[in-house]
Amino acid sequence: MNMPKLDLGEIQGDVLTGMQKDAELFLFFKIADANRFKNLTSDLVIGRVVAARRVRERERIVLQRPSSAAREPWLGLNLGFTMDGMTRLLGPRRPAMDPAFERGAAHPETIALLNDPPVTTWLADYRSDRIDGVFLITGPDPSFVTHHGNLLRQLLEPAISVVTAELGTVRPGRYRGREHFGFVDGISTPGIRGLTRVSRPGIAPDEGLPGQDLVWPGEFVLGYPGQNPKDPNKAGPTQPLPAPWAKNGSYMVFRRLEQRVPEFRRFVATEAARLGMYPDLLAARMLGRWRSGAPLELAPLDDNTLLAANDKRNNDFGYAGDPFQRACPYAAHIRKANPRDDPAEGKAGTLTHRIIRAGIAFGPEVAPGETQTMHPRGLMFVCYQASIGRQFEFIQSGYADNPDFVGGKRRPDNHRPVVPGFDPIIGQAKGNGARSMDEPAPNYPAGNRRTVLDMPDEFVIVTASGYFFMPSITGLRTLLS
């Protein structure tokens, strides 16, 4: 099949590459007057929505500037709608879209499927009767995005009313690029066929950077061929569009995830002492990478910061060569969230469950003496995909929350079956129940010491969630006409 050519001038900018963001304002709104909203947004806002092409041009400039240079005052603006918002725009007889999107993040079935905490425990602001849409406003600092958020409100209110606004910011100074538990984030992201540069065309034509699988674009953007679930390199079908305006659109999952950082640190220190290992190694066994970003598969017992910093090496691994979780536990966050070549059916299946992550941290640094979380902080998790059910929801419920995944593993000594346990970072048990993971202490390169990590409490708490559709630029024009 010919390589699909992506309409980069059409696809919203956050979807494929992530807009440049040192700060991001999420403006969740309700449409109060649909006609006025349509007129105002068509006339004054769509022209400012940043598409993928612009984001990529900016990225080229970022790569050329010295890392110490001041951030450019670039505004990023994207816009998405919930199923309620789509109904406000198109009326109740609009075409049905992705089934999970139509169910919505707050639906009892979604809550049950993901083992999410009940909506009554979510942050009060999100428990509005309705959220119709979200503006993503990105820029170099909080005052910039807040200013542009205020301008947008002046343009659109009272045709919209803002339900809640949230600010995400990258962490300061040397913590830049790290999430609040201290791990470098944003290392592993799927490559996209027809877009991502192949770094070694002669040797590895199906990879971007070494270890970065190329995925067919229909997994993330509607109207293109997706993955073939039987062959990692072949295209699968192009899913039918609900309507022509859906072409070049994508579904976004938003989750406001609070992280209990002092509690996580204390737990890791106490349990590491119990298990007789040093805390950084236990934290790495829970995540699958060291805080530096070095993967356990390549650095099983000691951190390796040179490896971590080398993007030609830091993602170049699989799990098939580690069948007994000696280097990396089956339940480690990255082994669960992207099992690569581990499942018995091989890599082709895994590639149908990939997502593009584009979140940002929020909240202050841990204050001196803050031994129990006093100030909310965490991750505004954002991911993009073509099917929320097959991608985000599958990762959460089929992998992270499923103690039996990855299946079919046996102990090396007695061949008994292994229950890998929960993803210690994002896994959730029913009713907020206790979780455990297998083999926190490494048996590397050999050994058969059996250990279990019991986790009575979660370190990541869902405090709000939403499913959005991010139309193309032409899609926006059609929906708002």
Rounded to whole angstroms, how far apart are CA atoms 162 and 310? Answer: 43
Stretch near ligand N7H under the rule CB under 6 A, chosen from 47-55, 154-162, 255-263, 296-304: 255-263
**Nearest alpha carbon to residue 14 among 427, 369, 356:** 356
Give the DSSP letter of residue 207: B
Nearest to ligand N7H of 376, 412 (CB atom): 376
Q: Report yes or no: 137 and 153 within 8 Å, Cβ to Cβ.
A: no
Nearest to ligand N7H of 179, 316 (CB atom): 179
Q: Report yes or no: 103 and 110 within 8 Å, Cβ to Cβ.
A: yes
Nearest to ligand N7H of 100, 187 (CB atom): 187
Which pair of tokens denotes residue 217? 């674009």
Q: Which one of residues 159, 160, 209, 379 is an interface residue with ligand N7H (CB under 6 A)?
A: 379
Which pair of tokens denotes residue 375? 């100030």
Prior bond of 406 cis (ω within 30°) = yes
Write the binding mask 417 to 456 for ligand N7H: x where contact by CB under 6 A, - elsewhere: --------xx------------------------------
Q: Which of residues 381-410 bind ligand N7H (CB under 6 A)?
A: 381, 392, 395-396
Stretch near ligand N7H under the rule CB under 6 A, chosen from 104-112, 130-138, 196-204, 377-385: 377-385
Nearest to ligand N7H of 161, 304 (CB atom): 304
Which pair of tokens denotes residue 148? 């542009």
At its nearest, how many Å lie between ligand N7H and the CB of residue 395? 4
The catalytic residues are 185
Q: Report yes or no: 377 and 261 within 8 Å, Cβ to Cβ.
A: yes
Residue 435 host element (H or E): strand 435-438
Write the binding mask 174 to 193 for ligand N7H: x where contact by CB under 6 A, - elsewhere: -----x-x-x-xxxx-----
Q: Which of residues 281-310 bind ligand N7H (CB under 6 A)?
A: 287, 289
Rounded to whole angstroms, how far apart are CA atoms 404 and 234? Answer: 29
At its nearest, how many Å lie between ligand N7H and the CB of residue 302? 18
Find the Cα–Cα–Cα–Cα dihedral 364, 469, 400, 378, rounded to 10°.
0
Nearest to ligand N7H of 10, 179 (CB atom): 179
Rounded to whole angstroms, how far apart are CA atoms 393 and 328? Answer: 24
Direct distance between the N- and C-terminal alpha carbons of the chain, in angstroms, rounded to an integer? 36
Stretch near ligand N7H under the rule CB under 6 A, chosen from 9-17, 133-141, 254-262, 403-411: 254-262
Q: Which one of residues 257, 331, 453, 479 is an interface residue with ligand N7H (CB under 6 A)?
A: 257
Point out which residues bind ligand N7H (CB under 6 A): 179, 181, 183, 185-188, 255, 257, 259, 287, 289, 333-334, 337-338, 355, 378-379, 381, 392, 395-396, 425-426, 460
